[in-house]
Amino acid sequence: MDRMACVDVPAFPLQILLRRHPEWRRLPAAVVDRDRPQGILLWVNEKARTLRVLPGQRFATALSLARDLRAAEVPSNEIERAVAATADRLRRFTPGVEPADGEPGVFWLDASGLEPLFRSLRRWASLLRADLADAGFAATLVVGFDRFGTYAVAKSSARSGLVLFDDAASEREAARRIPLDRLALPPSVRDALWKLGVRTVGAFVDLPPRGIESRFGEVAHRLHRLASGALALGLSPAPPAEVFAGRCLLDYGEADAMRLLVVVEDLLRPILAALARAGRAVLELRLGLVFEREGERTESLRPAAPTLDAAQLLDLVRIRLESIDLLHPAVEVSLDADAATATREQLDLFRERPRRDVAAANRALARLRADFGADAVSRAALRDGHLPEGRFSWEALDRLAQAVPRDVAMPPLIRRIYAEPVPLPTGSRRDVGDALGSYVVSGGWWRRTVDRAYHFAETNSGDVLWLFYDRIRRRWYLQGRLE
């Protein structure tokens, strides 16, 4: 490889944050590790830097330097997703893309042999930057020859945006002039070197390597070796995420579910074979249909457990195909699988049991999901609230656990709760006999005030109702019934 480039999306998590809060762009802003005054600043923008607000400071300290400093957390999974998406974008311009480990927003690119495709490296670089700008990221791109040289110059060229070196010597010379505090050094090392008057890469490189290692540790030493050229690392492009997918264009439109199932089966077999080679199993299957006139549709299907069982998967596809109205013929079918490693427990799910076959129940629930949609199976989970509807919530049930029934001496009365309290018509009072109450539940003033007086009332017909009078709306509601 004779050419290498480095993309720096400065303060990458901060740019993610600023996409979330565009009103903060004109202020000093920072990403913190936690939303506390003691939270550590991880990334800061230029406005903050000019006020000497630097990564590594505590938020409270930084606030004393920049009184209008804005800060929030950016979760690591959000950063990871953005890094992966950005790497995918960059792959449109070069197959060799290496996201920097531990420094989100930095990517090394293989820039060799691209001139014929893009007419010139400058044009390639300009197109690439424009593409990142479309994605909402301001980036610096340096095209040069060396991993460290391009990186160092990229980290210090926030305003210039694009730098192209024609020879390695000028790249090396430019790198020596780079302020050290632009590089990803631990703050303690950065400050210690600053104290010693070591402010540039050049001054850093001039220090003895053993002295660096013994005083500032492995990270600084590695950076020193990279900067001095003692350690030359080639590009280690990250492979694109493994894709387990297939697509089939139909010669003619097909609206029959069974015939579409045959097409799906043809797509599924090679996918399962690929998964098996990778030691993985289907976690979720996405079935894509493109129709002649009606546009397209994607259906998600999730087996009870990761599986390579084609019959089980096809059964789920069949149920789903039969449940949707295929008003228009499909002209394209695609299948795309998310994979997971199968565990022994998952395999156990298929083992036959004499009673209470949980695996069978889970398969049945999977069929229900296939038939009625992914949210069709849910269960009530207890919550710590005061209102009846606040004492539980519905959560998706992915997998049924083995039941462990308790012995109860005196079973309580069963209360059936309505999904929404039902307003009672005026005049219902005459149907009510004895009533207990009132029991008052009120609160929520910080969000939406609630004030209810609850009663248990027996109707003339013997039903026991669970009623409340809403003191704010001034009317009666039926919360549920007792059995």
Per CB under 8 A, residues contacting other proteins are 32, 35-37, 39, 59-60, 63-64, 67-72, 192, 195-198, 206-208, 210-211, 214-216, 383-386, 436, 438-443, 445-447, 453-454
Length of the chain: 483
Place of tokens 């009606």: 294
Nearest distance from residue 195's CB to other proteins, in Å?
A: 6
* Nearest to other proteins of 262, 435 (CB atom): 435
Closest separation between CB of residue 196 and other proteins, Å? 5
Output Rg (C-alpha) for the chain, integer angstroms.
Answer: 31
- Using CA atoms, how far apart are residues 66 and 15, in angstroms rounded to an integer? 19
Question: Which residue, 252 or 446, is less far from other proteins as judged by CB?
Answer: 446
Residue 438: asked if its preceding bond is cis (omega within 30°), the reply is yes
**CB of 64 or CB of 341, closer to other proteins:** 64
What CA–CA distance (Å, rounded) separates 71 from 385? 32
Measured between alpha carbons, how far is 364 from 424 in angstroms, rounded to an integer?
Answer: 38
Helix (H) or strand (E) holding 106: strand 106-110
Cα distance from N-terminal residue to C-terminal residue, the chain = 77
Instruction: Decide whether 35 or 322 has the Cβ nearer to other proteins.
Output: 35
Nearer to other proteins, 300 or 438 (CB): 438
Tell me the backbone φ, ψ of residue 179, rounded to 5 degrees: -60, 135
Distance in Å, CB of 383 to other proteins, minimum: 7
Least distance to other proteins, CB of residue 112, Å? 37
Shortest separation between residue 63's beta carbon and other proteins, angstroms: 6
CB 27 → other proteins: shortest distance, Å? 9
Instruction: Concatenate the DSSP letters of all residues of 383-404 into one string.
Output: ---SSGGGSEEEEE-SSPPPP-
Nearest distance, CB of residue 451 and other proteins, angstroms = 8
Min separation Cβ 481 and other proteins, Å: 16
CB-nearer residue toward other proteins: 145 or 454:
454
Query: What is the smallest separation between the CB atom of 61 and other proteins, expressed in angstroms?
Result: 11
Cα dihedral 154/160/163/168 (nearest 10): -60
Nearer Cβ to other proteins (208/462): 208
Closest CB to other proteins among 91 and 215? 215
Q: Which is nearer to other proteins, 112 or 438 (CB)?
A: 438
Which candidate, 338, 342, 263, 266, places its Cα nearest to that of 300? Answer: 338
Q: Three-state secondary structure along 416-448?
A: EEEEEEEECCCCHHHHEEEEEEEEEEEECCCCC
Of the candidates 205, 252, 196, the residue with the CA atom closest to the CA atom of residue 225: 205
φ and ψ at residue 63, rounded to 5 degrees:
-65, -30
To the nearest 10 degrees (0 to 180), the angle between helices 12-20 and 76-91 is 100
What single-letter amino acid sits at 302? R
